[in-house]
Amino acid sequence: MLNKIKYYYDKQQFKLIQGDSLKILKNIEPQSIDMIFADPPYFLSGDGITCNSGKMVSVNKGKWDEKKNIEEKHTFNRNWIKLCYQVLKDDGTIWISGTMHNIYSIGMALEQEGFKIINNITWKKLNPPPNISCRCFVHSTETILWAQKDIKKAKHKFNYELMKKINGGKQMKDVWESALTKPSEKKCGKHPTQKPMVILEKIILASTDEGDLILDPFNGSGTTGIVASRLNRQYIGIEKEKEYLDLTIRRKESDKK
């Protein structure tokens, strides 16, 4: 499936690759992936501050999140989404999370690269950090776009009955409420944009079956992979930063089903 690529970690259908997704994705077999979840850089890091656990902290997350102008940002998004289109099966789907800083470019890039959007999921955070500037409303949501290839023969997977059951016998809506990532999910270390496992559980259960292959081109702390493994799915995560690959491995090896 992967040509000339060495795995950083490879155990029990859980594979990690260190490198740039724009290079690694070119070596993944076309139409081999059942589902992609991506939490790409939001390009927010600068000189600003935010509130974390009641303290003012810098918004700088790392070089990978440094601010770009709109042309650079959109070119980056089109490039990685185009590569995801190539590796995704025709019946597969892609989920991409983001805030207002990046999600509009993501939505445009999806359509430009041959996808059509199925749903616009709003993640409503039950305990968002306060807005310390007091010059705008509290940022309490993130958007997750769910898309499929815009081709006639594509028939995406949606486990409707399961999601209805999870939702107490009612159709699940496109607004999902949850708290921010639990401290227990950060016991092995922290990532600045780590998503709650409950969000990934819904995504994976909704659009994959056991044994399916899930790809995350921006692995981060490996939440997608941890949840995929718990739900008996195969996983490939791509990540540039060694510290986050090591964090993912610690989480994987300490996790118990």
Residue 217 structure tokens: 């081109």
The model's pLDDT over 73-83, given as tens digits with 9 standing for 90+, comes to 999 999 999 99
The model's pLDDT over 203-213, given as tens digits with 9 standing for 90+, comes to 999 999 999 99
The model's pLDDT over 89-118, given as tens digits with 9 standing for 90+, comes to 999 999 999 999 999 999 999 999 999 999
CA distance 21 to 215: 11
φ and ψ at 3, to 5 degrees? Answer: -100, 125
CA distance 187 to 181: 11
CA distance 61 to 248: 18
Annotated domain spans of the chain: 9-254
CATH architecture label of 9-254: 3-Layer(aba) Sandwich (3.40)
β-bridge mates for residue 14, sequence order: 11, 235
Q: What is the pLDDT of residue 16?
A: 98
